[in-house]
Amino acid sequence: MILSRPILGTVLAMLLVTTSAAGTADKIQPLTTDNPVVVELYTSQGCSSCPPADSFLGDLAKRRDVLALALHVDYWDYIGWKDQFASPSATQRQRAYVHEMRERMVYTPQMIIDGVAESVGSDRGKVESLITEARARAKLPIAFWRDEAGKDWVEIGEGPRPEGGEATVYIALYDGKHETPVQRGENAGSTLTEFNIVREWRPIGKWDGQKVRYPITIDDQDEDYEACAVIVQQGQVGPILGASAMKMELH
């Protein structure tokens, strides 16, 4: 194919911009491997069955082949202890999974593996088996970059066009570890140790199979959060097509 002079000029200009951006940006080392399995734990400080699952998630959080995230639900807050990390959005997300997977009810502790399978969160054998199955699935390449101005970007590579035409790109801000003395409720008298607690989960864009970059915008109120995960998911709570995480730097 022969390009006309105006079109050729446009293409060359785009190439120059791309080359310039690549030359002035530094790649950020991710916290995970290139193909991590996303494990979401739905948990609550008011649930006496949850501490073993919280501990298990802590073990998973040490692995680079797993992106382990804890989402605290609020529907146990009425039984004596209000979970300081609980959010209605976490409960809503879990309910969406229950509907998508045609389960009967929400419960804690529940682990969702890569958006396609679920298990009781303390069942280590089943969860490990589901992680092994999920690891065999191909994932999208995701990379983090920091430009000369200190701004962070996430780049999502090319892949098969997702079902429905577009997938959702989420950002999840989370903390590494918290210890909480519980004074009331089912865990009264215990000090709970919890890991990778998601403090905010929000969409930042869409992915349609083509390479795309999005800026990672962090508000001042997020400065204390330790890490940032980016998750590409089919639909709201469908299969996870790609994920990665980076350590946040306080400015």
31-52 confidence digits (pLDDT tens) = 999 999 999 999 999 999 999 9
Stated pTM of the model: 0.88
Q: pLDDT tens, 63-107?
A: 999 999 999 999 999 999 999 999 999 999 999 999 999 999 999
- Binned at pLDDT 50, 70 and 90, residue 220 comes out as low
- Strand 37-43 vs strand 66-72: parallel, antiparallel, or unpaired? parallel
- pLDDT at residue 224 in the model: 76
Under DSSP, is residue 10 helix (H, G, I), strand (E, B) or coil? helix
- pLDDT at residue 124 in the model: 99
> Is pLDDT at 5 greater than 60 in this prediction?
no
Instruction: Count Cα neighbours of 176 within 13 Å in the Cβ-side half-sphere.
Output: 8
- pLDDT at residue 14 in the model: 38
User: Closest by alpha carbon to 73, among 98, 55, 37?
Assistant: 98
Mean pLDDT of 173-187: 95
**In the chain, pLDDT over 90 holds for what percent of residues?**
82
Strand order, beta sheet including 26-28: 26-28, 142-146, 152-156, 212-215
Are the C-beta atoms of 50 and 20 separated by less than 8 Å? Answer: no
Distance CA 74, CA 91 (A): 6
Are the C-beta atoms of 181 and 191 separated by less than 8 Å? Answer: yes
Chain mean pLDDT for the chain: 90
